[in-house]
Amino acid sequence: MIDDAIRVLAGDCTVIAEDADREEYRGRVTTIVKPDNTVLVHDSDGYQPVAWLTRADSVSSDRAGDFTLVAKKDTQTLRIAAHEQDGFAHYPVSRAGTPIGHCPACEGALVRSNGVNCVSCETRYAIPSDATIRDEHSDCACGLPRMRVERGLAFDICLDRGCESLDEAVSTAFDREWECPVDDCDGDLRILRRGGLIAGCEHYPDCDTGFVVPTGVVDGECGCGLPTFETRSGTRCLDATCEQVRKRTLEAEYTAGN
């Protein structure tokens, strides 16, 4: 199964676009209706459509008389009537992205585009946006590519969470590894998923301390007692609001300058 289909109508058509104003065109055009109901009407001139309607609320067709497509969105209406039809068809369509391997379910191409998707079947894998896909020689035993993800350590795991869980890998490495920084709390930080991965106090809800586990590798300890992470934008504390790392960095820069 393909994600959806693109509908294409080609021929001698009258195109009427109505909103506050009314515009009418006629010519041999090709109308494309995308899966999200975006309608594009192209002629032979230039790259921009003659008319379009982005993500219409509805797209209907009437085959009686002149074949007609009608798209509506709020107060906008786009009507395409084919006086002479050169063709009308549905074509399969999928997400397009960077090729990263082959789907073990159907041997179709896997591409990275807002996750990982197969161009031939409905198989999709949600992966972290910062993940780096490994080369084809590092495939998992299940046949899928592996990925590198930094969450305190650099983890090398299958892109299918059902095969290898990133949450479990981070939890194994860091669950209860750090103490809650609140003065009157004797709890440890647990690795939990609350939308994203967080290090949250085990005494929740009595203590609601929690920090998002950042993208990066642990490289030391902050003055506040929490770990520091080396990220793409520099060193930061697990507590994104902590001023200790910034203070230490400024002091180091001042010392180096003098």
Using the structure block, give the residue that is written with the tokens 């930094």: 150
Asked whether the predicted pLDDT for residue 256 surpasses 50, the reply is yes
Of 113, 139, 171, which residue constitutes the final position of a domain? Answer: 171
Asked whether the predicted pLDDT for residue 1 surpasses 50, the reply is no
- Give the sign of the dihedral formed by CA 200, CA 203, CA 204, CA 209: negative
Q: What is the pLDDT of residues 207-237, one digit of tens each?
A: 999 999 999 999 999 989 999 999 998 899 9
End-to-end distance of the chain based on CA atoms, in angstroms?
66
The predicted pLDDT at position 3 comes to 52
Asked whether the predicted pLDDT for residue 75 surpasses 90, the reply is yes
For 15, the domain range is: 4-93
Q: 20 Cβ partners below 8 Å, 6+ apart?
A: 75
Asked whether the predicted pLDDT for residue 255 surpasses 60, the reply is no
| Band (99; pLDDT cuts 50, 70, 90) | very high
Of 119, 149, 171, which residue constitutes the final position of a domain? Answer: 171
**Domains held by the chain: number:** 3
Q: Which helix (DSSP H) or strand (DSSP E) does residue 83 occupy? A: strand 76-93
Asked if residue 14 lies in contact with residue 40, where contact means CB atoms within 8 angstroms, the answer is no
State if pTM tops 0.75.
Answer: no
Q: Are residues 155 and 193 in the same domain?
A: no
The predicted pLDDT at position 253 comes to 47
Residue 44: CATH number of its domain: 2.70.180.20
Asked whether the predicted pLDDT for residue 30 surpasses 80, the reply is yes
How many Cα atoms are found within 13 Å in the side-chain-facing hemisphere of 97? 16
Asked whether the predicted pLDDT for residue 254 surpasses 50, the reply is no
Residue 84, φ and ψ in degrees, nearest 5 = -135, 115
Q: What is the pLDDT of residues 50-60, one digit of tens each?
A: 999 999 999 99
